[in-house]
Amino acid sequence: MGEGATDVGSASRAIFDAACAVIPGGVNSATRAVGAPWAFTRAEGARMWDADGREYLDYHAAFGAILLGHCDPRVDEPVRETIGRIDLTGYGVTELEVEYGRLVCESIASVDTSLATNTGTEATLQAVRLARAITGRRYVVKFQGNFHGWHDAVARNVISPPERAYKLDPLSAGILPDAFAATLIAEYNDVGSVQALFDEYPEQIAAVIFEAIPHNVGALLPTREFSDGLRELTRREGALLICDEVITGFRHGLGGYQAVLELEPDLTTFGKGIANGYPVAGIGGRRELMERFSSAGGDVVVAGTFNGHAVGMAAAVATMTHLRDHGDDFYPRVHALGARMREGLQRIADELGIAATAAGFGSVFCLYFMDGPIRGYRDLMRNDDAAYVAFHRRMTERGILMLPLSLKRNHVSDAHTEEDVDRTLEVAEEVLRELAEEGVLA
């Protein structure tokens, strides 16, 4: 059912219509307002079912939070056991929180201590605030196209149209102009653009924050020259380097994508895949930095009634433990499936004469509708956004769930199989051929 279809009379649409009466727009996060399928009632493994019983092979994976598969018993069974004996204490600490912290520190080489939050937005908010407190400086540098949540300090310049890219492009109304003014915009994979900001604002920049891979615009892969350059530049200028691994952490490797880059940032944020879909995220870094938080007697407030909730901690401990004990099997397998998908999509596009570039890393894939090379956001402004959305929409109509928004990536989980990938490629060939014949694609 297409985006514009009403689907009146279906059980899924009825649920959505009921939601509109009690939830603004019928959804609790704006990126879910993308049309049919309107409502889901079941999820298992690599599949979801809507309220009308339609089955979907899920590559959206809740923006990548589903790492092992929906309702995976390796995570859900420990959660059920935990619910039977403890829930929210709101006082002191639990053994689950200790185990969670220990596993995070063992997994991410740059992390000595960490704090648990519920969302990636909370984690990056804490990281930016901590950096400003430590340095006593005002400005933060982020990159055009990188998304670090919706708090005021970073809520600008993500998927910007060409006329607003690199200029002021707010994500939201209601944010004070001073908050936007304190965040500076650079170009990804271009250390020179960052150096220019340090030259313009000498001894005034507190931190540079960047996505290890900007998966919020598909998959821009950082060069080693770029990541090493950021590390050298921030050290020289007395600023902190914040590596946002909310998407890449645990999905691309137990040590995050920073391990692939052999990078040691000052602070790291993580989430999503760490708990296979349960609401857990966090911030970690060097001990002397993290002890500026008020939980350790410092002057940077950390609070949150639900931080370290037993349910989330049980899920995160189970997920991280599985990745630690079975990572030698898990990562090669899902990376191979991701490569199979990317190679297949590129082959199909080439055979059909479509200007397209399959991109990604590990278990993440996307198909840009443009020729390469693709290094930074300036390159992405050549992407055919209408074709990107049309491809995802028609794949979803055929039971292959891909979020129909431009530049959104897709994810393979441990529950996917080679047969799933091959079936997906068969459907993709049908869809791309159809779009080409209709003149939708260049």
- Tell which residue, 406, 398, 403, has the closest CA to residue 60: 403
The reply to whether 84 and 182 lie within a common domain is yes
Q: Residues 81, 84, 88, 91: is their CA dihedral positive or negative?
A: negative
422-431: per-residue pLDDT in tens? 999 999 999 9
pLDDT in the model for residue 74: 98
Residue 351's domain is classified under what CATH number? 3.90.1150.10
Q: Look at residue 1 and tell me whether its pLDDT is greater than 90.
A: no
Q: Number of folded domains in the chain?
A: 2
Residue 6 lies in a domain: no
Q: Look at residue 8 and tell me whether its pLDDT is greater than 90.
A: no
The reply to whether 301 and 372 lie within a common domain is no
| % of the chain beyond a pLDDT of 90 | 97
DSSP string, 214-239: -GGGS-PPPPHHHHHHHHHHHHHHT-
pLDDT in the model for residue 3: 43
Catalogue the E-assigned strands of 45-193. 47-50, 55-58, 113-117, 139-143, 183-186
Average pLDDT of 317-343? 98
384-402: per-residue pLDDT in tens? 999 999 999 999 999 999 9
DSSP string, 125-145: HHHHHHHHHHH---EEEEETT
Residue 78's domain is classified under what CATH number? 3.40.640.10
The reply to whether 149 and 284 lie within a common domain is yes
pLDDT in the model for residue 441: 83
178-202: per-residue pLDDT in tens? 999 999 999 999 999 999 999 999 9
The reply to whether 43 and 180 lie within a common domain is no
Range of 232's domain?
73-323
d(CA 213, CA 188): 10
Q: What is the pTM of this model?
A: 0.95
pLDDT in the model for residue 121: 97
Q: Are strands 55-58 and 400-401 parallel, antiparallel or unpaired?
A: parallel
The reply to whether 166 and 197 lie within a common domain is yes
pLDDT in the model for residue 130: 98
Average pLDDT, the chain: 96
Average pLDDT of 222-242? 98
135-169: per-residue pLDDT in tens? 999 999 999 999 999 999 999 999 999 999 999 99
The reply to whether 290 and 433 lie within a common domain is no
pLDDT in the model for residue 307: 97
**Residue 6: pLDDT band by 50, 70, 90 thresholds?**
low
- Tell which residue, 391, 379, 405, has the closest CA to residue 345: 391
d(CA 408, CA 292): 36
- The phi and psi torsions of 377 (rounded to 5 degrees) equal -65, -30
